[in-house]
Structure 1
Amino acid sequence: MAIADADDFLPEALQFRPSAPLVDIGANLTHESFGRDLEAVIQRARAAQVTTMIVTGTDLTHAEQAVALAKQYPGLYATAGVHPHDASRWDKNLERDMAALHAMPEVVAVGECGLDFNRNFSTPQEQERAFEAQLALAVESGLPLFLHERDAGQRMREILHVWRDDISHAVVHCFTADRDTLFGYLDLDLHIGLTGWICDERRGHHLRPLVSDIPLELLMVETDCPYLLPRNLPAKLKGRRHEPALLPWIVREIAQWQGISEAELGAATTQTAQRFFRLPTES
């Protein structure tokens, strides 16, 4: 399992090279913690067969940074949106700037956008206003949606039900909610993104029995790094910063609960991500 080209940041026990390429659909590589060693992070990801990474843009600044990374590094792509925490900043100027980003070839989804009624850094009314505006941008651009939802499943489903015939694909990234919410999203033909949350025995236990109910053609995998470091790792990591090279450990956990091999899950989620984000397939 050791990866000869990886540096010593990852202990040998964590150097995991699966048999087929993987797509990390949610990597916050514009986070300040990656500023000192991004080049090495990307090299480690590629050594671990994570050959494609979707860099999440959660506001105008980070979306622009994500696009810049996508231009610099082959295999990186960007999303562009306004997270519900920042929904109070939504205005016509921001709408115009986001629309311009959505026209760029490096941008493969509208988002991260949605609803978060857990912390309410922006009011629910502000969140809904910004969310619906971004749904309209997704319709205009034809791009899929990269969605965030926390403690807002019912309202999210109500809004998406109204828009469902007009938008294309949508993925609820970092899904952590309950059975009813999951089936509500699946009934809307939404994709589901799973993270290292499922590797956490303290809070991911309720999610594990639901994994096998997610059709493979609607399932994708992500790190959401540098957050949500998996707790199933066989060795400690310096600094506890999550990164895309650890995605294979998440795939291993999800495959166990799907009841299929890691290779089958990896191949299926990669194919789904390539189709969802309209990515080129590797020859």
Structure 2
Amino acid sequence: MQITVRTKQHPHDDAPDTAADFEKLAALPEGPERQALRDELVQAWLPMANRIAMGYRGRGESVEDLSQVAALGLVKAVDRYDPGRGNAFESYAIPTITGEIKRHFRDHMWVLHVPRRVQDLRNRVRTAVKDLSQTTPGHRPTVSEIAAYTRMSEDDVRAGFEALDSFTALSLDAELPGSDDGYALGDALGEPDTGFDLVVDREAVKPCLAALPERERTILYLRFFGGMTQSRIAQQLGISQMHVSRLLSGCCAKVRDEALAESEPESEPELEPEGARQPDPARQPEPV
């Protein structure tokens, strides 16, 4: 019995010898036999896919999900591999599985949608920070140092730094760093201030109120600023309560209409097209 001895160590010591199986798979037509052989090949190379997946653990994704994504990449590699090209299966499968994992991180792990170019900038900046931190311990690399190391512009480096914070999101209920009293991020956010709208409304109606007769202004002041009822206003002015009610309704409607009319943009007069104006009969020449 002749034993074949490998002179060069295989990149995966436990890689199965499936060259003949892949040639057989390529020659088989679609059917149960081909499907069974395909499943056996996927099962045989599954340990390699799991090892590749383990290289991406600790990046915000569970090990089980990484293994499933790597297995999906392995299935694609088995289906697309062509043994007639003369290349080993692992030389085609490893880039396919790695690309599937990277695509998963790019499409499913970002909380905010970031363009592909910015994602690449983020990866280059993250790698550069890691490399430069080893050469200059205790010193955080500056933007100019990273730009010189990666041959990127400083604007691209800043964009990469901003993308570093887009991979995950911080909850508004999360306690801020250094806060001992439970102060959360949501507590630092502002709320709509209705006081600004009140100032705008008051300035809008001020000239309208000034244009009212003195009696109407007095009634409005006593009702809305003095807090008096219509009956007390009627007693003080010596008129009926019904009259006070009508004056209040009329004043409010008038002020409202005038304020709204001033807030609307004035429409420009439409210009007649040249030659459309009718001639003046008075200037018509007398018939000869």
Q: Which has the higher contact order (CA 8 A, sep 6+)?
A: 1
TM-score (norm 2): 0.23
Q: Tell me which structure has the larger Cα radius of gyration.
A: 2
In proportion to residue count, which structure has more strand? 1
TM-score (norm 1): 0.23
